[in-house]
Amino acid sequence: MINKFKLMLGILMATLVFAANSHATELRGTGDLGLVIERADGSVLIVEHSTDTILGRVEGFGNLSHASVVFSRDERYGYVFGREGGLTKIDLLTHKVVNRIIQAGNSIGGAISQDGKLVAVSNYDPGGVKVFDAETLELVANLKTDSKTVGLVDAPDSKFVFSLYDTGEIWVADFSDPKNPAIRKYEDIGIQPYDALLTPGGRYYIAGLFGEDGMAMLDLWNLDAGVKRIMGGYGRGEEKLPVYKMPHLEGWASADDVLFVPAVGRHEVLVVDSKTWQEIDRIKVHGQPIFVMARPDGREVWVNFAIPDNSAVQVIDVLSRKVKATLKPGKAILHMEFTPRGEKVWLSVRDDDLLKVYDTRSLKELKQMPAKKPSGIFFTNRAHEIGL
């Protein structure tokens, strides 16, 4: 009788513990989650875009003035790259920092490998790229350069590709064997590559050039062909304008077999045929474009701008290649992020301390949420996209 009572008591206690734990760690998916950078406070918001809500805030990320994020392939963990060299792993379900290291003096973004096992960080100071184990953040490789590194992306076949700002090079690092990465270097690609993009599918790596008009393109399917210069001299014969902020090519737009890219320092979006790599059009826009981003279905391209025109967002119709709408969401629109199927877009409105959500069909504002000087917005579907 006593043993039976003990058994029943044990079952009851186990049931209560299970119920308590189930309530404390409610089961949910991660496919509609994301992170928003609060750059002034060194904090990160965990958000959900199904209901357009803020789930929590996590602090202690240091300098986030040029922060970016990648995600683990299960979408549970985010890796936040801070400007002061911080690499922070955050759990989106528990809202806790899992690990944090300071790996350099000044960083400018990062990438996660094709298999999700390696995280790479691009550094200004002391330059080079460091590669870490995604699980433990232990150092796997230190690729030293004599230059600031920019435009770091993950590429198929376990590769990382990046550019050297000071020396005008592109490096391809093959991490098929993480302990012995194979490096292939391409020199004299152009003056001051400042950022880069990877085309859909991961075939072409294209670096924008700050020191001259044009871009440098590397075919990752045919590395022996070397780097090809494209779109040279697009501003020839025209007055140069001061550049208030570098465009961000990782916000590239690919739609209808063409690329839409920001022209450095110009009030134009350039249109490039993705088969011939020739400029076929240019679109006059409100100011100097920073992000030029395609809606996921490719029907529209959305553009935000550098100061002093950074309170506007313009929507370009892909078929007509004309601006179809100009929105004025608020002061200092720093970033845009579409939901995975494109029915909504989130905007960071830094100087109004707001996040705003718009319906992409009606262009009407759906919701606004308070945030502390928000900048980058990153949704977890990025975990399954190449080159982001």
Spell out the domain ranges in the chain: 103-245, 251-328
pLDDT at 77 over 70: yes
Comparing CA positions, the residue from 201, 137, 196 lying closest to residue 169 is 196
Largest CA distance in the chain: 98
| Average pLDDT, integer, range 327-333 | 97
Position 175, amino acid:
F
Can you tell me the distance from the alpha carbon of 306 to that of 322, in angstroms, rounded to the nearest whole number? 20
* CATH number assigned to the domain with residue range 103-245, chosen from the 4 options 2.102.10.10, 1.20.1090.10, 3.20.20.150, 2.130.10.10: 2.130.10.10
Q: Return the closest-CA partner of residue 254 out of 208, 283, 296, 317.
A: 296
In this structure, the number of other CB atoms found within 10 A of the CB of residue 246 comes to 17
Instruction: Write out pLDDT tens, residues 250-261.
Output: 666 787 789 898
Fold category of 251-328 in CATH: Thrombin, subunit H (2.40.10)
Domains 103-245 and 251-328 alike in fold: no
Cβ-in-10-Å burial (0-12, 13-18, 19+) of 266 comes to buried
- Alpha-carbon gap, residue 192 to 310, rounded angstroms: 25
Beta bridge partners of 142: 130
User: Are 158 and 176 in contact, with CB atoms under 8 Å apart?
Assistant: yes
CA distance 40 to 198: 30
pLDDT above 50 for 22: no
Please tell me the pTM assigned to this model: 0.90
- What is the Cα–Cα distance from 371 to 43, expressed in whole angstroms? 10
Residue 387, pLDDT score: 86
User: Does residue 237 carry a pLDDT above 60?
Assistant: no
pLDDT higher at 195 or 312: 312
